[in-house]
Amino acid sequence: MKATCYARQSVLQSLVRVVPVILLFLSGNAAVDAADVPTDSIYACTFTARNWNQADWVRVKYPRGEPFGGWLQRDGCIANAVPSNATPEELQGKYAAETYSCMVYKERIKGDVSVASTMSFAYKMAPLILLTPALSENAKGQKQCSERFEIVIFDEGVNIWRHFVKDGKLTYRKAAFASFRLEKDTKYKLKLGSR
């Protein structure tokens, strides 16, 4: 399977009306079959070795926790780097901040868009697509996105989380969800948009 990400002009319903100028993000094992990429794409890449340009993406730090996160190139996809000696339970607990790897497409995409990625997860991990109106910088000059929507797949379905700053503190709220069983190590296509 080829690993691909794409975005194209179309309607993304009310979610993008809340975030009218967006950037794209992928986390977890990210892929989409190349045959699924529409011919009218404004951006497309295949996350296989030598078939995507890291310069097209900006690494973004998770606002909580110190680790910056990294990516591993696999045969048909990229995967977020996690501590190799941690158990799956520890990756959900004390090492959770070290499991977050984030990159945002370097160009702002204005207007209505569709975004799609095929993703899989191990254990209960939660790969996602992130929409954000802007990037900020922390005290160390590292890029981060405090204000964002995260559309997340995990073993119990799909959640949409809204992250925002309230009274100077980062907070979040579940904006929507759909409950159904998803299996680990199984490829799922997550698509936002109407086409």
Angle among Cα 32, 159, 111 to the nearest 5 degrees reads 60
Joined together, the tokens standing for residue 164 give 């925002």
**Sequence-ordered list of residues with C-beta below 8 angstroms from that of 98, at least 6 positions apart, any chain:** 65, 67, 69, 82, 83, 86, 91
Joined together, the tokens standing for residue 106 give 């370097």
The pLDDT tens digits of the residues spanning 35-57 come to: 555 566 677 777 888 888 888 88
The pLDDT tens digits of the residues spanning 116-155 come to: 888 888 887 778 888 888 888 888 888 888 888 889 888 9
Structure confidence at residue 190 (pLDDT): 84
- Rounded percentage of the chain residues whose pLDDT exceeds 90: 4
Joined together, the tokens standing for residue 33 give 């079959």
- Residue pair 158/151 in contact by the 8 Å Cβ criterion: yes
Sequence spans of domains, the chain: 4-192
Q: Quote the pTM value.
A: 0.75
